């Protein structure tokens, strides 16, 4: 499921974050990928050990915690702390698939079910830099307003087109969901969205209770912890 989640960050948060990132020390983005990714990756990243990465990452995680839509869509079990990247001067990331298992801590790993990109720069401030996600329905071009998030299956082939003017700043991270299978996550999300819409419309309470029970029983049956 590819889903656009708007307004994860507000204007003041974005202004403060961009100011901090524009003054930051960056490193070669190829340092955080394997041999195959290094062949096609041309961008800059905040170093993993950077205190700024940890500080800004906590701000992003706090904003996500306040987004019901994000939680309904991802059903997160574990989240890799956000990283931050910078594309400019022709920087790009060629077609690739994200690694299936990532190091979360020295003692724990994370299965990457869902990939997330949080746009931090307004689309009019740079040319290029579109995230292209390929799935069974073709290619989807994503270039969102600052503060908006795109989530998509980590199994998807994807790329970032060259940035030919300006600078593209983004946060990115991966989620291990309670629900491994993307089609089941989609069904649960659609069911939850329908329940919320019916609740707002004042639908029959008994029917809503039954649908809510179905949602939770499916979640109980499919969830992995």
Averaged pLDDT, 57-78? 98
Domain check: are 93 and 199 in the same one? no
Secondary structure E strands in the chain = 3-5, 27-28, 41-42, 44-45, 76-79, 83-88, 92-96, 101-103, 109-111, 114-119, 126-128, 131-135, 138-142, 149-153, 157-160, 163-177
Averaged pLDDT, 6-30? 96
Cα 128 off chain centre by: 19
Q: How many CB atoms lie within 10 A of CB 42?
A: 19
pLDDT-based confidence at 29, cuts 50/70/90? confident
Q: What are residue 85's DSSP bridge partners?
A: 45, 170
Assess whether pLDDT exceeds 80 at residue 36: no
Assess whether pLDDT exceeds 90 at residue 63: yes
Which of 159, 177, 195 is at the close of a domain? 177
Averaged pLDDT, 101-123? 96
Q: Domain of 134: which CATH number?
A: 2.60.120.620
CA–CA separation, 86 and 181 (whole Å):
31
pLDDT in tens, 121-150: 999 999 999 999 998 889 999 999 999 999
Domain check: are 130 and 206 in the same one? no
Domain check: are 160 and 186 in the same one? no
Domain check: are 145 and 187 in the same one? no
Instruction: Give the domain range for residue 205.
Output: 182-222
Q: Domain of 207: which CATH number?
A: 4.10.860.20
Averaged pLDDT, 107-127? 97
pLDDT score at 95: 95
Domain check: are 160 and 218 in the same one? no
Number of domains in the chain: 2
pLDDT score at 106: 86
Domain check: are 16 and 43 in the same one? yes
* Percent of the chain topping pLDDT 90: 91
Domain check: are 128 and 67 in the same one? yes
Assess whether pLDDT exceeds 80 at residue 154: yes
Domain check: are 75 and 139 in the same one? yes
Assess whether pLDDT exceeds 80 at residue 107: yes
Domain check: are 66 and 42 in the same one? yes
Domain check: are 115 and 152 in the same one? yes
Domain check: are 133 and 218 in the same one? no
Question: Burial level of 38, CB count in 10 A (0-12/13-18/19+)?
Answer: middle
Domain check: are 125 and 201 in the same one? no
Assess whether pLDDT exceeds 80 at residue 212: yes
> What is the average pLDDT score of the chain?
96
Averaged pLDDT, 62-80? 98
């Amino acid at each position: 499921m590819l889903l656009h989640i708007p307004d994860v960050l507000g204007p003041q948060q974005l202004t403060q974050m961009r100011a901090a990132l524009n003054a930051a020390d960056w490193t070669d983005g190829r340092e955080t990928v394997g041999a195959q990714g290094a062949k096609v990756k041309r961008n800059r990243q905040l170093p993993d050990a950077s205190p700024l990465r940890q500080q800004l990452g906590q701000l992003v995680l706090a904003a996500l915690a306040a987004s019901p839509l994000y939680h309904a869509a991802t059903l997160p079990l574990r989240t890799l702390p956000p990283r931050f990247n910078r594309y400019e001067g022709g920087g790009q990331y060629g077609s690739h698939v994200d690694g299936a298992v990532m190091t979360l801590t020295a003692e724990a790993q994370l299965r990457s079910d869902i990939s997330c990109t949080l746009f931090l720069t307004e689309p009019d401030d740079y040319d290029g830099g579109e995230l292209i996600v390929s799935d069974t329905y073709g290619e989807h071009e994503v270039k969102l307003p600052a503060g908006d998030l795109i989530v998509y299956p980590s199994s998807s082939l994807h790329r970032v087109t060259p940035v030919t003017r300006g600078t593209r700043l983004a946060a990115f991270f991966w989620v291990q969901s309670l629900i491994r299978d993307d089609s089941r996550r989609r069904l649960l999300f659609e069911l939850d969205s329908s329940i919320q819409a019916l609740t707002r419309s004042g639908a029959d309470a008994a029917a809503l209770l039954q649908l809510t029970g179905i949602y939770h029983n499916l979640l109980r049956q499919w969830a992995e912890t």
